[in-house]
Structure 1
Amino acid sequence: MTTELQQLHQQLKLCGFRLPLLVTGEETQVNQLANELLISIQTHQNLNSILAVNSLTSFTPQANTTRISSNKFRHYLGHEFDCVLINGWQGFHVDAFAALSGTVKAGGLFILLMPELVSTSESELSAHKKGWDSFADPDRQRFLQWGVNSQDFKSNFLTFAQKYLLQSFIQIISQTTPILGNNHQQQVSIPERFKLGIPSLKSNFQLPGSITADQQNIIEQIHDSIAQDTGNNQQHFIIAANRGRGKSATLGMLAAQLVRKCKSHKPLTVGVTAPRMDCANQIQTWFQQKHPSEHELSFYALDVLAINKPQLDVLLVDEAAAIPVELLQQLTRQYKHVVFATTEHGYEGCGRGFTIRFKKWLARHFTQQSFRLINPIRWSPNDPLEECVNQLLLLDAEPAPSLKALSMSANSITTAWFSQQDMLQQTDLLRQAFGLLVQAHYRTTPSDLRYMLDCPTMRTVLMKSGNQVVGVALISLEGDLPSDLAQQVARGQRRPNGHLFAQTIAAQTGFYEFATLKGWRIVRIAIHPDMQHRGLGSQLLAFIDTACQQEKQDYLSTSFGLTLPLLKFWQKNQFSLVRLGQTPEASTGEYSAAMLRCISVTSDNYIAELRPIQLLDVQQQLTHRYVNLSLELKTALGKILANSAKMTMTTSRASQLAENFAQYHATLASCRLAIVKLINDQQCQQHFPLLTLATDPTIDHDQLILQFRLSGKKQLIRKLRSLTGELLNQIRPKN
């Protein structure tokens, strides 16, 4: 480490900032250079914990190092490290990049290893060098559908990223000098913001050893509300914050105060839960600091709370956004007082389901109070790493400001495609559009930004009034799979990347032919809150539908968490329900609804056959599998079912679907009605009692396992596949 860089690091540490480092060069060189760098730092600063993501085995600093692959990043939310190193040579995973940046302590290092970075002007002068847009990023495969040639891939996202990383990361360039053979040179490039801003900063940052004023205020309000509550009314609380604001510490100190001082001088029983036990480490630390004892705060796994229902006066829930909404709702009903702590940015396991869905539900059904921790306590305000990550991944993106005064004349609203090149050149519109998507959709994560910029089969439509984004839609071009691949999908043998709607219909209905059709899937659609209920959503859909027809597609599709307003919206725009998911989605507790609008005669013919089968399945399970749907939704589904054509399934089609289950890997749910038809046609219920019972939607499979003395669900499915094969043999003509 150069003297200049050492001095800068010490200054940043004294200021309470994290040091963002970008180390560029060949992969083996940058890993070795990062290794030497950390060993050098060890001489004047203790690095007690390092998290190395996708690092090479040659990366062996003399410190406590935890090695993980990038897809394991969620396991380390709520942890703290002196250094996080991400080897981007093995994949620039944007969600891991966003989440793990929040685990670095004040004075710590965040190191990104990447290929050599060159600016546009340098590229023009040095034709032999390549920018990141041509880097064969291993993580790019997540954004490429089956059928796309990855050799032609150029990353617009990495081009987008260069700007912010050059502005905010200190760059260490490892170069091999041809004149000197294999000798390596290092060049350090420090952005202007560090040269101009750091010397004038106050160097007095200290991690708070005790409670801050904001934390004290929240703790007192929640404690007083619980202590003064002598009735039976439930009251719940939400603490929201960006990372580094001390929400876990607040929960720990709140627990200590509730245990010490409580109503009627009787100790309150307080428990804590989180997606994983290690996520609660910070809560336990602060609890022990404020309430020294031999006993820790009781931690309960989520499944233990749901099944055993232990008695608690207060339940503390950390990392609430990573917990399925349905489970959060159960815990809310189960306990009198629940305190939820959640990170506001949407890269946790279940996205923004907490913010968008759960908070609204909670406000409708219970008395609740919400609090926010604004100022960071684990690092200083204006931390360069946090600012860069927020800007780069649009984590701070917001929709356009209030649009209530906008004219609604036809000439004031324009709708047009927003290409990936447009996004690079018009970043303000991109920021508005992404902010609108984040606000409207619980699943929007940093990966969605990369999908928008990089996926060759993703298109974006913007609805604007002047320079303000009124609406946005994301469209995925899907289907057109070869017949043999489509059959493998229907049989459960293959699951190629992308083509989600086409594959879902093929795999869950058995109609492989559908995946051979070409269609567009509307991935996201959002209208600015100030402009809703004015027909703009339907206007945006009409633009998409016209383009879909012009490009000779077979259908236009969508899938979403089933709610009555959304069902009515899509019905109003002539979309038909073709499938309802078998289990609630983890992130919302809602069933996935698949709807489409046929464009070609071919798609109309396929849907005319498969839709009645799927709707009959829904009808038969409406009072069992879908028993928890609201009365309004059941009524709306009832109307759809009443107007549906009668199911007609040929023996040939039923045999094909049953064979997918018997001989391959199709699910029982996708073939259930086909098996029922074959059994009824042959009148052989008495010969296949287990198969007959297992295809009855009113009978619990756990009961069948006990009744037929099976070892578990795996043996049950194996037995059912074998019995279905016997049934088919009985039907086939004898030679």
Structure 2
Amino acid sequence: MFMGGKIHKVIYVDQYSRGGAELDYFLEKLKKISYPIENVKHYAYEESIRLLGTTNDILILDMTEGARANDIGRLVETVRGGGLVILHNLNPNTETPWRTAIHRKLISPPYNWSDLKPRFEKYFIRKVLEDPHVWIFDGWKIVKGELLHPQKIVREKPALPEKSKIPKSLLRLALTQDQVRVLQALEQAMREKGRSVLVITANRGRGKSALLGLGAALLLHAGARKILVTAPGKEEVQVVFELAEKGLTALKEIVKREIDGGWISRLKCKKGVIEFTLPYRALSENADIILVDEAAGIHIPLLFKLMKRFPKVVFASTVHGYEGAGRGFSVRFLKTLEEAKEIKLYRAELREPIRYAPGDPVEEWLYDALLLDAEPIEIKETVNVEECRFERPNLDLWFGRNEEKLRQFIGIYVLAHYRNRPDDLIILGDAPHHSAGALTTKDGNIVVALHLAEESEMPKELIEDTLLGKPPSGYLIPACMVRYYPSFREFAGLKGIRIVRIATHPELMDKGFGSLALRKLCGEAKTDGYDWVGASFGAEKRLLNFWLRNGFIPLHISPMRNVISGEFSVIVVKPLSERAEKIVRAIHREFKMRLLESLPDTYYSLDPEVAAQLLSVERWTHLEKPELTPSQKERLTEYVRGSLAYEGACDVVKHVLRAHFLSSGEARLKLEIRDEAKLIARCLQCRSW
């Protein structure tokens, strides 16, 4: 702990809120060598998010019971160049899975600990053993390791511009020349007349959040009265607030901070306020500027709504690293921004690491071990959809020596999905009821990736728990059916597969590859005796259309919006057996009735086109006749003739529309979705003209 005559800051992390026996033993040893134990800070893994943005000398991860991949990813990146990461009690010969919080969630009846597969553990340990920069000690004996001479960071103070509208007292807080450069870009972009957007990208550990904090201080100093800060979670913007406070203090402002749940949520000074809000709630706020941190973790439709809502927007996102989204953020979001003529777009990138030198071997190991930089294969020639084949890969091989396939698989998610975490590797590799599917080219390259979960034959005791308001993990769709449609609880006894995620290679989207993968999966599942295949996702028009087009039936829409994506969650199911067909048809009718009755209340703000899509299934033919009194029929006739205003017949119109949307197939009047959406908005959601 004494390196170079200096006492170093030590972080010790284990599974226990107050520390376990290994920590006690470690502290006793330190006392014997007169090491000041007040320099050792203990955290439980579940608290590790509080260490985001910190810089540490020595990190000790107690691996007696393992660690979540998320925790490993976020913690290792907090160690400075020349620092030390110790994986304490890591068993190199493990044949059993770790016992972490994520593993506990993977166990639900009929499974127990013995059913978990330690694929991720073996994969991770192999990555540890293979890396030349890793030392292995058995007691004090060096089992493996070579003397490492880490590249020293020779960090000169950034050169400050002679002429700048940014106060030098603020610029001096920048740690790299990159930060100075991007701070100038931010000042220029926000000074631009009209609508302007700045997009900042960086790998983790480049000082992106710190830069946003300095930028917030600058913008408040320059005249903004209210600045909103948003991100997927409040914990992810603490560095933003800390540096904003530091910047305002450097500008001679007296700052008052407000704490909410242990996190900074608001800074206030005479110049104005900097305030946190969740992404969806930001749409109902007013502010001069909004700063969006970890933008790749927010659903893209919501990002565009934020861009339209505020005249000045800064989007910042991690490209690779613990919260990274690979090139997906660029592929899916920046491309559209570049085509938007109504905004002035600025782009900036932070490349220089804050804590360690470029090319740091520990960072390179971490990215490799957790597939943080995974990307799909490059499409170099035409891929014909009819030549592709569907495979159910052997995950033992993928997590073993066929890592290239795993990297391709994860790489597609990194490009196509807005939220990826290292824990996904543990779920895919270790969970007994999770598996993978892949659509591959004739050369064996993956072009569609499917993460699957079996949700079959829910035990009776879990059905009872669900009815009592305690739904179990591992049965997302069956539990939801039991909870909202208790009369059809027999659905929970069916055999089903939930598609956790499906993603197509970005260069092959909208060409039928995803639909082919679904058809192949459903065909194989039916042959294997499954009753249904389903999915749960955010109700966005384009995505919903994909599932409906492929024969999936909507059975549920969440009563609350997701606070991050701002969307309602939808469950869709495709029945494969006669028994499932009968139950799904009955539940779908119940679903439509519930949705129709809830449109003026729970779903008042639901996009009317999404509502129309959910009510548009034509799998079965059914005619619903409105039950009208003689008086209602006469008023309806008068309304149609134009002799009675809508307000005088609105009750009858609602009856007719209800019958229209409950009808299906050949028995339903054919209308355009856009026209149905207008009717829903005015007549069923009771919005104004």
| 1:82 correspondence with 2:57 | yes
TM-score (norm 1): 0.69
Partner letter of residue 291 of structure 1?
A: L
State the alpha-carbon separation in 1 of the partners of residues 186 and 208 from structure 2.
14
User: In terms of mean alpha carbon deviation, does 41-50 or 76-85 score higher?
Assistant: 41-50
- Structure 1 position 533, deviation (Å): 2.5
Aligned to 1:499: 475
| 1:161 correspondence with 2:138 | no
Distance 1:295 1:579, change over 3 A: closer
| 1:73 correspondence with 2:48 | yes
Distance 1:361 1:144, change over 3 A: farther
- Structure 1 position 450, deviation (Å): 1.7
State the alpha-carbon separation in 2 of the partners of residues 526 and 300 from structure 1.
35
Give the conservation status (yes or no) of the 8 Å contact 2:214–2:244: no
| 1:133 correspondence with 2:95 | yes
Aligned to 1:391: 368
- Deviations along 1:455-509, whole A, 9 cap, x unmatched? 22122122222142211212111121222332322332x4333122112222232
Give the conservation status (yes or no) of the 8 Å contact 2:115–2:432: no
Kindly, what percent of the aligned residue pairs are identical?
Answer: 26
| 1:490 correspondence with 2:463 | no
Aligned to 2:412: 436
- Structure 1 position 519, deviation (Å): 0.6
State the alpha-carbon separation in 1 of the partners of residues 129 and 69 from structure 2.
17
RMSD between aligned residues: 3.7
Give the conservation status (yes or no) of the 8 Å contact 1:135–1:154: yes
| 1:238 correspondence with 2:199 | yes
Aligned to 2:662: none
Partner letter of residue 587 of structure 1?
A: I
Question: Which of residues 566, 572, 582 is equivalent to 1:605?
Answer: 582
- Structure 2: 5+ residue stretches without partners: 31-36, 159-171, 257-266, 269-273, 626-683
User: In terms of mean alpha carbon deviation, does 447-456 or 105-114 score higher?
Assistant: 105-114
Aligned to 1:727: none
Matches within 5 A, 1:467-486: 467-486=444-463
Give the conservation status (yes or no) of the 8 Å contact 1:461–1:472: yes
Matches within 5 A, 1:7-406: 40-41=1-2, 44-48=5-9, 50=11, 52-54=13-15, 55-56=19-20, 57-58=23-24, 59-60=26-27, 62-117=37-92, 131-139=93-101, 140-168=103-131, 170-174=134-138, 185-191=139-145, 198=149, 201=151, 204=154, 210=174, 212-229=176-193, 233-255=194-216, 257-258=218-219, 262=222, 267-269=223-225, 271=227, 273=229, 275-276=234-235, 278-280=238-240, 282-284=242-244, 287=247, 291=251, 293-295=253-255, 298=268, 299-302=274-277, 312-320=287-295, 332=307, 335-345=310-320, 347-348=322-323, 367=343, 368-403=345-380, 405-406=381-382
Aligned-partner SS, 1:237: strand
- Structure 1 position 432, deviation (Å): 0.8
TM-score (norm 2): 0.74
State the alpha-carbon separation in 2 of the partners of residues 629 and 100 from structure 1.
39
Distance 1:50 1:549, change over 3 A: same
Matches within 5 A, 1:619-638: 619-638=596-615
Give the conservation status (yes or no) of the 8 Å contact 2:73–2:322: yes
Partner letter of residue 273 of structure 1?
A: V
- Structure 1 position 594, deviation (Å): 0.8
State the alpha-carbon separation in 2 of the partners of residues 357 and 628 from structure 1.
26
Partner letter of residue 171 of structure 1?
A: W
Partner letter of residue 96 of structure 2?
A: S
Distance 1:64 1:338, change over 3 A: farther
More helix by share: 1
- Structure 1 position 160, deviation (Å): 0.7
State the alpha-carbon separation in 2 of the partners of residues 324 and 90 from structure 1.
34
Distance 1:395 1:112, change over 3 A: same
Partner letter of residue 229 of structure 2?
A: T
Distance 1:258 1:576, change over 3 A: closer
Give the conservation status (yes or no) of the 8 Å contact 2:456–2:492: yes
Give the conservation status (yes or no) of the 8 Å contact 2:538–2:568: yes
Give the conservation status (yes or no) of the 8 Å contact 1:324–1:350: no
State the alpha-carbon separation in 2 of the partners of residues 224 and 558 from structure 1.
45
State the alpha-carbon separation in 2 of the partners of residues 540 and 402 from structure 1.
18
Partner letter of residue 441 of structure 1?
A: H
Aligned-partner SS, 2:347: strand
State the alpha-carbon separation in 1 of the partners of residues 576 and 283 from structure 2.
51
State the alpha-carbon separation in 2 of the partners of residues 581 and 287 from structure 1.
42
State the alpha-carbon separation in 2 of the partners of residues 598 and 305 from structure 1.
34
Give the conservation status (yes or no) of the 8 Å contact 2:453–2:497: yes
- Deviations along 1:265-297, whole A, 9 cap, x unmatched? xx4446463514743355236625863554476
State the alpha-carbon separation in 1 of the partners of residues 448 and 394 from structure 2.
15
Partner letter of residue 337 of structure 1?
A: K
Question: Which of residues 546, 549, 556 is equivalent to 2:526?
Answer: 549
Give the conservation status (yes or no) of the 8 Å contact 1:90–1:137: yes
State the alpha-carbon separation in 2 of the partners of residues 270 and 220 from structure 1.
20
Give the conservation status (yes or no) of the 8 Å contact 1:578–1:614: yes
State the alpha-carbon separation in 1 of the partners of residues 528 and 278 from structure 2.
49
- Deviations along 1:555-606, whole A, 9 cap, x unmatched? 1111111122222222222111111111122332121111111122222222
Distance 1:281 1:113, change over 3 A: farther
State the alpha-carbon separation in 2 of the partners of residues 304 and 421 from structure 1.
39
Distance 1:363 1:614, change over 3 A: farther
